[in-house]
Homo-oligomer: A and B are copies of this chain.
Amino acid sequence: MPRRPPVSRRRKPHQDRAQATCEAILTAAARVLVKNGYEAASTNRIAREAGVSIGSLYQYFPSKEGLVMAVMERHRTRSLAGFEAELVRLASQPLPQAIRALVRQLLTTKLENPRLHQVLHELAPRMRQLGQVDPHEQRLFRLVRAFLAPRAEELRPKDLDMAVFVLVHSVETLCIKAVADRPDYLTNEAFLDELCALMQGYLQPAGASSRTTPKKMTGRGRSSASREISARP
């Protein structure tokens, strides 16, 4: 029941105190979203949880939706930063190793606060109003595309945009579904193996490949059930 179009004539925090209030509201919002879900996450409850009055909340956020958007914004920006750093670091690595490192990065990121990732992911479709395209998603797509473009020769897919679409959405969703239905997968090295196999098999169906270590996935598939995913190999 939004009363009017979000007028966004909200204060910008200038003093440290205000900054802290904003921070408290955002983290409380994330916490309540995780604990109670979107419906039950009333603005009053979030304010209370933040130790702040409801009035303060509406000084810095134009509406409940605006607040949730801000939470998503912050969260996705951070996640993307981590992913981009890894992408840069792996720019010149051979593809199989790069893929593995990237997937591992995704999984460990999700592992920090799985539920928040899940909730925000499931909330995303409801937030983009009227055909708004998610700028973070666009950015993610461009990053992955830029990563793949130099290796286009070694790759099976001809349509790079379509390949990025396929890769990003499938891996992202598999991580989220794992959070929701199979949390054990998140720390199961065999699952990481499968995600890598999915991407690898899609991009380079063993045979094409290149000058760069075309090793055909050795030592995978047996007795990997108990290995655990850790920070870096």
Contacts and interface: CB of A to CB of B under 8 A. Distances in A.
Interface residues of A, number: 42
Copies in the complex: 2
A162 B163 CA distance: 23
Contacts of A205: 197, 200-201, 205-206, 216-217
A120 to B, nearest CB: 12
A165 B180 contact: no
A7 to B, nearest CB: 20
B174 A162 contact: no
A37 to B, nearest CB: 7
A5 interface: no
Nearest to A125: B122
A67 interface: no
Contact of A202 (B163, B178, B185, B201): B201
Interface of A is mostly: helix
Interface in A125-178: 125-126, 133, 156-159, 162-163, 165-166, 169-170, 173-174, 177-178
A221 interface: yes
Contacts of A177: 165, 169
B166 A198 contact: yes
A207 interface: yes
The 5 tightest CB contacts between A and B, nearest first, are A201-B201, A170-B170, A173-B173, A158-B221, A201-B205
23 contacts: A37-B126, A122-B122, A122-B126, A125-B180, A156-B221, A158-B222, A159-B190, A159-B225, A162-B190, A162-B191, A163-B194, A165-B181, A169-B170, A169-B173, A169-B174, A169-B177, A170-B170, A170-B173, A198-B198, A201-B202, A201-B205, A205-B205, A205-B216
